[in-house]
Structure 1
Amino acid sequence: MGEARSSGMRKAGRMILMPENLPPKIYQDLGLTDYEYERIVSILGRQPNYLELSMFSVRWSEHCSYKSSQKALRDFPTEGKRVIQGPGENAGIFSIGNGLAIAMKIESHNHPSAVEPYQGAATGVGGIIRDIFAMGARPIANLNSLRFGPLDRPKVRYLLEGVVAGIGGYSNCVGIPTIGGEVYFEDCYEANPLVNAMCVGLVKTDTIIKSGARGIGNKLILIGSATGRDGIHGATFASDELDESSEERRPSVQVGDPFTEKLVMEACLELVERGLLVSLQDLGAAGLTSSSSEMAAKGGVGLEIDISRVPLRGEGMQPFEIMISESQERMLAVAEPDKVEEITKVCDRWGIRAAVIGQVTEDGILRVVNESQTLAEIPARALSQEVPLRNLEVRRPAYLDNLHHYPLPSLESEKDLSQHMLELLASPNLCSRQWVYRQYDQLVETNTIGLPGADAGVVRIKGTHKALAFKIDGNGRYCYLDPFAGGQIAVAEAARNLVCRGAQPVAMTDCLNFGNPEKPEIYWQFVECMRGMSQACRVLGIPVVSGNVSFYNENFGEPIYPTPTVGMAGLIEDMRWCTTPEFKDEGDLVVLLGETHQDMGGSEYLKLFHDLIAGQPPALDLDLEKRVHLCCLEAIRAGLLRSAHDCSEGGLAVAVAESCILGGLGATVNIQEEHKQTVALFSESQSRIVVSLKEEDLLHLEEIGRRHKVPVKVIGMVGGDRLTMGKVIHLTVTEMKKVWEDTLESIMRI
């Protein structure tokens, strides 16, 4: 619906549109509530026109404004000795010394991927990459977290195949290694998959650039692709539940061009390096509306945009389409007038557009004009920072009473645990993900240390002795059973995985995936997860530097599990400390740091063999968790450990089996007599790490354990060609490796 141009009044030589005669309640079609509309009228002091309504609708959407989550997010610790930039910018930044820093961010692209998996995933990757180089940082690694329904359903396999191809197609073309990730399968994600993309970049601390516009009279420059109709109302679409009409929303899914992204990235990084820009902002959700209002509000200035100067690739585009289009591969920059010519030359050399589309003003107004005609005038701060926050009701879900008190089956009579072990290794939630990561380029830029499949991905920092480990992790099943405990575990397990690679956890980003927050039970899940995550971050000393919230992940009213995804970074001060999970040599001792308890609730074992998701998730003692981390890191830095591997889903048996498979060596392992055999093998107790070391180093490790008050128990020895665990598991490494490696690829061939 376009704006009428026949009536108006003059102001300062420019025509200002009078309010239009819009259909009653049309704002509801744009996702605005009665209260929000009344607030808009109060802000403007008049009725808005359709363009202004469209701008408010996308900027005040849940996806862009966080109007339901801002209050709960305030409890996250966001400061630390290494933190340079916390939440509020395109990406968070933390220092790693040597005048260098890391920019880090994770975001969701769930709904677009549900209706158009290839482009939905590809543009999710493209958007998160732009968030990183918008800070002046060169992207050095990508990760992703994916969740789908059961793989025996053709639609799920179609979604998985398209999403993985989209991620690989975009990342590979831009030339950024994908070094890690996770993939899980549960019924609740069948029609609403989760596609969370994470990117990290390296930046010199003296070249960091931010998004706040500054300098009255400075020019506003649109860099990159032309603007089309793809992604119209994409932010609004991301704030809706999926239903039978969702397939009709394909026009709300953007179309990506990774080759253009590469050129835009290189051009922007050169512009930042040469000091030609005042500020820089990615055009993501809500397009020009969101980026320009954020830049103006952060800088305390106004912006004037002349849409007649915006390069277009859609014929007859209406002003509202231009302002809310989510066309990809675009950046918005502010520069001093005398720098414009040089900026244009740089962009020309890289083969991309640089169009001056406006300027910085002093009145705090985001003004949209078409040559001499004013189309919209909105206080920038109102769009960006004055969305009415929601006070939502919370209510503990009734289902928890049944699940927590559900009688778990007796596991004493479980037979043929060797066969159970093979079936667990073949479970889609535990088997190798090599079918996925073989489609990603992990080695481009030649900084990756080791291939995906270890506890965390690692990249070296050229010119230093340092490396960085990155992990993306979460467990929706635990959060479904107990959101508080599940939130804690998501943080603790990500940190534990970094520790297993020899890295000190230093900073975190998160992507918080939940159902409809207007349902009190869903909002309770969200609040409890945030409370658990915040507590874990504080105890473990890990600040949150950036993040994303994705609500309305439901299909026909059925929500996904509450699924907070944690992306975490760890610093390895000396690359010689980089540790891997595979067993190394015959005769090495196998040692368990931590203790096994009867934690079977929410386990993969109960789901696979009893089709049961019930009970309490594993208990977590955060103080013990921290001590286990310190113990393991000290042992690594002392040169004691030959391997280290997190013990989590699938329990001790699966952790040891993976170390055998990856190292091509067997092991003989004793089972703790104080537990039932099944519990000892497959309990998913937290705060445990399986390590191996030379026998002569055991006393030193035990002394470190005593100082940190961490249980250190020898449970076996590396050697032979088979894994023997007590009297109940006898499997060759070859047969374990075959089912572990072949399962996912076999399923995807169907």
Structure 2
Amino acid sequence: GGGLSCVVGEMALAGGFGAEVDLERVPLKEEGLAPWEIWVSESQERMMLAVLPENVEKVLRIFELYDVPATVIGRAIPEKICRVRYRKATVLDLDLEFYTGGPEYTREYRRPRSAATKDLKLPPEPTDYRTTILRLLAAPNIASKEYVIRQYDHEVRASTVIKPLQGVIGKAAHGDAAVVRPLVDSWRALAIATASTPHVTSLDPFLGGATAVDEVCRNLVAVGARPHSLTNCLNFGNPEKPDRLWSFREAARGLGATAKALGLPIPSGNVSFYNESPLGPCPPTPVVLGVGIVEDLRRCVTTDFKKSGDPVVLVGTTQAELGGSEYLRLQKKGQGPPPGVDPRALRAAIDHLLAAIGAGTVAACHDLSHGGLAVAAAEMALGGDLGADLKTTAMDPMRWDLQLFSESNGRWLVEVRKDRYEEFGHLMEGTPATFLGTTGGTSLHLGKGRQWTSLALPVMRKAWGETIPQQVVVT
């Protein structure tokens, strides 16, 4: 917000300098703007760079090469002053500390009395797991977003090499991240992913913020990218109300603590406050976007099952963590602790799994989030149009609904190349990796001892694919 009036002062003050700006040099979309309009305009798709004088021509040539307008509009000065000129007249000359520093508010924040309990109270175990999984696949937060994705151009200069939808053409499912190849003469690439955790944040704002960072990192790693940096959009209610400000403060703490533990910078972000109506505030909603570095895009993997007979492995540990889960929302009863976050274990798992992907031992990878193991397996099967036979007995004595629907953090479901399984095991030493079964067939079979269920691919695809169009398409 604030356009040039904010970015110039903020960058100068952060560097310990002042700034001089000539408004006549600023490219305009509309003629006849007054100086103050130019200064505060919030026209989009603009960025400010600070460039050493000897590098200015080199930088301008790079922008010209990619048809991006770039203009020198001012310079840094030693005096901590913001000075703005227009047609040889000085229209602003203010002390920078006063102009940019701004007041710091110290508002009251207070934990709400109705803070959610962390005691585990399970609903009755489903008598029909098949129907439960189909209902989860049809839940709006899980169902196919293809109808929405197709409304937008997700190609970036024809360089999006891994798309948001991944798998067999015409049957693709959700990917965890997209991958863009910025330079045609390099195999290095950028992975981009997002995560949002309103239901967890409503129960425990600190864990909600931490979970958003955990999930976006897992999304990036799932395609073979090492997380590099984060940004965010934090959507909360009225900060003048102590309980709303407490939720925001805790979520920000969770974001920051987890990012710091993972060594990830958050150089920018956005906060949207006062999202309220007569019915109350919006759910506290941190949205995190992550960027990862792919060293060789030829080693990237996608979420869809690839080949019949490949082993399927669960990476990470499943806990009895159903708080904020899609399963409890579906059941409309029961409660449980929201997922915890272990940055140290996550960091180790990231290193091991990236090594396994880089070595070529992984055929497909999908993080576990909304809906847990059952939904992750279903999405991988749908994307590859290939079934699997998976058994969760290794997680006993945990109840089967916990095994299938827990949304514990720090987990991935991995299809390992059959002839590289032993190598994969060596590369994952030190990180929990549990063999569940193999790919194959035209149905997803799930079992635990005498309990089992089977879902045919066409039945899952119908449940998963129809929800969003039915909600948004007017017939």
Using the size of structure 2 for normalisation, the TM-score is: 0.83
Shift of 1:623: 2.5
Equivalent residue, structure 2, for 1:654: 375
For residues 25 and 145 of structure 2, what CA distance do their matches in structure 1 show? 49
Of 395, 411, 418 in structure 2, the residue corresponding to residue 688 of structure 1 is 411
1:139-178 equivalences under 5 Å are: none
Q: Quick one: structure 1 residues 374 and 623, their matched pair in 2 at CA, closer, same or farther if it must change by over 3 Å?
A: closer
Equivalent residue, structure 2, for 1:158: none
Unaligned runs of 5+ in 1: 1-284
For residues 41 and 18 of structure 2, what CA distance do their matches in structure 1 show? 23
Contact 1:308–1:370 (8 Å) recurs in 2: no
Q: Quick one: structure 1 residues 295 and 713, their matched pair in 2 at CA, closer, same or farther if it must change by over 3 Å?
A: closer
Could you report, residue by residue, the CA deviation over 1:453-506 in whole angstroms, capped at 9, with x for unpaired residues? 211111224212322212111211111211122222111111111111111222
Tell me the amino acid that sits aligned with residue 698 of structure 1: Y
Q: Tell me if 1:742 matches 2:471.
A: no
Tell me the amino acid that sits aligned with residue 121 of structure 2: L
Unaligned runs of 5+ in 2: 165-173
Tell me the amino acid that sits aligned with residue 224 of structure 2: G
For residues 321 and 446 of structure 1, what CA distance do their matches in structure 2 show? 36
Could you report, residue by residue, the CA deviation over 1:395-428 in whole angstroms, capped at 9, with x for unpaired residues? 222121xx2157734332x122111111111111
Of 101, 104, 114 in structure 2, the residue corresponding to residue 399 of structure 1 is 114
Q: Quick one: structure 1 residues 372 and 467, their matched pair in 2 at CA, closer, same or farther if it must change by over 3 Å?
A: closer
Q: Quick one: structure 1 residues 547 and 330, their matched pair in 2 at CA, closer, same or farther if it must change by over 3 Å?
A: closer
Could you report, residue by residue, the CA deviation over 1:368-387 in whole angstroms, capped at 9, with x for unpaired residues? 67769876543234222x21
For residues 582 and 359 of structure 1, what CA distance do their matches in structure 2 show? 51
Q: Tell me if 1:420 matches 2:135.
A: no
For residues 21 and 392 of structure 2, what CA distance do their matches in structure 1 show? 70
Equivalent residue, structure 2, for 1:561: 283
Tell me the amino acid that sits aligned with residue 383 of structure 1: Y
SS in 2 for 1:546: coil
SS in 2 for 1:404: coil
Tell me the amino acid that sits aligned with residue 123 of structure 2: S
Q: Quick one: structure 1 residues 370 and 428, their matched pair in 2 at CA, closer, same or farther if it must change by over 3 Å?
A: same
Q: Quick one: structure 1 residues 696 and 300, their matched pair in 2 at CA, closer, same or farther if it must change by over 3 Å?
A: closer
Shift of 1:520: 2.3
Q: Tell me if 1:618 matches 2:334.
A: no
Equivalent residue, structure 2, for 1:492: 214
SS in 1 for 2:141: coil
Q: Quick one: structure 1 residues 319 and 528, their matched pair in 2 at CA, closer, same or farther if it must change by over 3 Å?
A: same
For residues 432 and 86 of structure 2, what CA distance do their matches in structure 1 show? 71
Between the two proteins, the alignment pairs up a number of residues equal to 449
Tell me the amino acid that sits aligned with residue 265 of structure 2: P
Equivalent residue, structure 1, for 2:239: 517
Equivalent residue, structure 2, for 1:326: 42
Equivalent residue, structure 2, for 1:389: 104
For residues 419 and 23 of structure 2, what CA distance do their matches in structure 1 show? 74
Q: Tell me if 1:411 matches 2:124.
A: yes
Equivalent residue, structure 2, for 1:640: 361
Q: Quick one: structure 1 residues 379 and 436, their matched pair in 2 at CA, closer, same or farther if it must change by over 3 Å?
A: same
% identical aligned pairs: 37
Q: Quick one: structure 1 residues 391 and 451, their matched pair in 2 at CA, closer, same or farther if it must change by over 3 Å?
A: same
Q: Tell me how large the CA RMSD over aligned residues is.
A: 3.5
Contact 1:310–1:357 (8 Å) recurs in 2: no
Q: Tell me if 1:674 matches 2:397.
A: yes
Could you report, residue by residue, the CA deviation over 1:259-298 in whole angstroms, capped at 9, with x for unpaired residues? xxxxxxxxxxxxxxxxxxxxxxxxxx22343345446645
Q: Which structure is larger by alpha-carbon Rg, 1 or 2?
A: 1
For residues 631 and 362 of structure 1, what CA distance do their matches in structure 2 show? 48
Equivalent residue, structure 1, for 2:2: 286
Q: Quick one: structure 1 residues 567 and 357, their matched pair in 2 at CA, closer, same or farther if it must change by over 3 Å?
A: closer
SS in 2 for 1:534: helix
SS in 1 for 2:437: strand
Contact 1:304–1:361 (8 Å) recurs in 2: no
Contact 1:296–1:303 (8 Å) recurs in 2: no
Contact 2:17–2:77 (8 Å) recurs in 1: no
SS in 1 for 2:157: helix
Of 303, 321, 326 in structure 2, the residue corresponding to residue 581 of structure 1 is 303
For residues 253 and 29 of structure 2, what CA distance do their matches in structure 1 show? 46
SS in 2 for 1:449: strand
Using the size of structure 1 for normalisation, the TM-score is: 0.54
Shift of 1:367: 5.2
1:226-265 equivalences under 5 Å are: none
Q: Quick one: structure 1 residues 590 and 314, their matched pair in 2 at CA, closer, same or farther if it must change by over 3 Å?
A: same
For residues 470 and 564 of structure 1, what CA distance do their matches in structure 2 show? 17
Q: Quick one: structure 1 residues 482 and 735, their matched pair in 2 at CA, closer, same or farther if it must change by over 3 Å?
A: same
For residues 68 and 374 of structure 2, what CA distance do their matches in structure 1 show? 55
Contact 1:642–1:692 (8 Å) recurs in 2: yes
Q: Quick one: structure 1 residues 532 and 313, their matched pair in 2 at CA, closer, same or farther if it must change by over 3 Å?
A: closer
Could you report, residue by residue, the CA deviation over 1:310-357 in whole angstroms, capped at 9, with x for unpaired residues? 979588x77655543434567789999xx99xx9xx99xx89998x99
For residues 22 and 95 of structure 2, what CA distance do their matches in structure 1 show? 14
